[in-house]
A and B are shown apart, each in its own frame.
Chain A
Amino acid sequence: EVQLVESGGGLVQPGRSLRLSCAASGFTFDDYAMHWVRQAPGKGLEWVSRISWNSGTIDYADSVKGRFTISRDNAKNSLFLQMNSLRPEDTALYYCAREGGMAPLFDYWGQGSLVTVSS
């Protein structure tokens, strides 16, 4: 069974940093690109970042470029999101999602990790 489990969220002051993790199981992790998607409370979905299977291709939303860094450790079946210079508008539930192997869809999602940026 495919499972994605996020962790690392919490309450943080503006300007501080936080690192999210996503532990993957039930599939061959290094066969798949992975993404982070966020959802502010009561709002829609916002794509944040993507990393290819071998970390060779990385993309970011303009809203986080220069502040967030996506990475992965295929040996540990883990995905990460280092978030620096956090702003109140970064407050959201952060999901990790797997990109389907046969088509560019998000076929599996974690349950999300809540990040709250507030003083």
Chain B
Amino acid sequence: DIQMTQSPSSLSASVGDRVTITCRASQSIAGYLNWYQQKPGKAPKVLIYAASSLQSGVPSRFSGSGSGTDFTLTISSLQPEDFATYFCQQSYTTPRTFGQGTKVEI
């Protein structure tokens, strides 16, 4: 199975900050990497798919980059509604493994 490792596990940031979350795959997954945001008590919501494509309706302050084994999610200017947990997920093969999550706190 492909292991997905996110860093950091949590971070503290302020409104307006630029935030970067990293996801590393245990083997190459080309560009088959998705990012999800989850708020407490809610289902996850896809932000980025295919490493860098912005899902319809997602604010442009979210962006993704990377290929192969190393990927990044960037929030260019953190907004109050962005405080949540973020998960990466590889869609290269089954099992469709997720990273352990990164909690973004105030």
B34 touching A112 by the CB < 8 A rule? no
What is the size, in residues, of chain B's interface with A at 8 Å between Cβ atoms? Answer: 24
B43 touching A109 by the CB < 8 A rule? yes
B96 touching A50 by the CB < 8 A rule? yes
- Shortest distance in angstroms between B25's beta carbon and chain A's nearest beta carbon? 15
What number of residue pairs across chains A and B have CB atoms under 8 A from each other? 59
Beta-carbon nearest neighbor of A4 in chain B: B43
Bound complex: CA A107 to CA B32 (Å): 15
Residues of chain A contacted by B89 (CB below 8 angstroms): 45, 47, 106
Mark each residue of chain B from 1 to 19: 1 if its CB lies under 8 Å from any CB of chain A, else 0.
1000000000000000000
Interface residues on A, range: 20 to 34
Beta-carbon nearest neighbor of B46 in chain A: A105
- Chain B interface residues toward A at CB < 8 A: 1, 32, 34, 36, 38, 43-46, 49-50, 53, 55, 87, 89, 91, 94-101
